[in-house]
Amino acid sequence: MSRTHLPTLLAIIASVSLGAAPALAQPVREDGKATVTMVSPMSIVKIRDLDFGTIYMDATSTGGTVVIDPTRPEGSEISVTGAILSGNDGHSAKFGGSPERTKKIKIRIPKGTITMTRLGGTETLVVRNFTLDGPDQRTVTASTYFDFRVGASIDIPAGAAEGAYEGQFEVQVQYP
């Protein structure tokens, strides 16, 4: 008599899908900084304009140069070269202020040239080489008045038209 042996095969394959890895991931973090720099207000006022004064030249003059040097004492700032005469009535520009707090400032004057135009006309003269009466970085004291002078040079060409010439320039005080 034969025996039959029925092998019983039950295969259970579990379907395993891991949840998306995020469940196992750690949060990551990074630090940042918030910053602000506070400064107290300070204003600068103009005390006087830059004035090259009166220049005399005759019809045959070959022209000349006028220099206002703010490092020289007031009253002796003007120097003239060439075939022109100065009436010695010019002066450097002067600006002043009084800061609330002692601080370091940086004075910025024009680096290049500016143009003056004749009033009532179109002729121009070029102002160049702006200079300060000292270093452009200085420390100013709280509640104490301070000022600084600005000078420059102009070249007067032969045959320059008679009249008053005017131009604008900007001076900036940066702090800190």
Partner 1 sequence: MDQKLCIIAACTAALAATPAHAAPVSNSDGTARVRILEPLAIFKVDDLDFGTVVISNTQGGTVTMPSNGNPRSFSGGAEGVPGDPGNRAQFTVVGNPGQEIILTHSVPLTLTNAAGDDILVINMWLNGSPLRTLSPVDGREQVYLGGTLSLAADQPEGLYEASFTVTVDYR
Q: Are 41 and 100 in contact (CB under 8 A)?
A: yes
28 binds partner 1 (CB under 8 A): yes
Under DSSP, the state recorded for 22 is G
| CA gap 14, 71 in Å, rounded | 94
**Smallest separation, CB 115 to partner 1 (Å):** 26
Q: Which two tokens stand for residue 115?
A: 């143009």
32 binds partner 1 (CB under 8 A): yes
119 binds partner 1 (CB under 8 A): no
* Sole binder of partner 1 in the list 2, 60, 122, 143 (CB under 8 A): 2
* Sole binder of partner 1 in the list 37, 60, 143, 168 (CB under 8 A): 37
112 binds partner 1 (CB under 8 A): no
Residue 31: alpha-carbon gap to chain centroid: 34
| CA gap 99, 44 in Å, rounded | 9
73 binds partner 1 (CB under 8 A): no
Under DSSP, the state recorded for 21 is G
35 binds partner 1 (CB under 8 A): yes
143 binds partner 1 (CB under 8 A): no
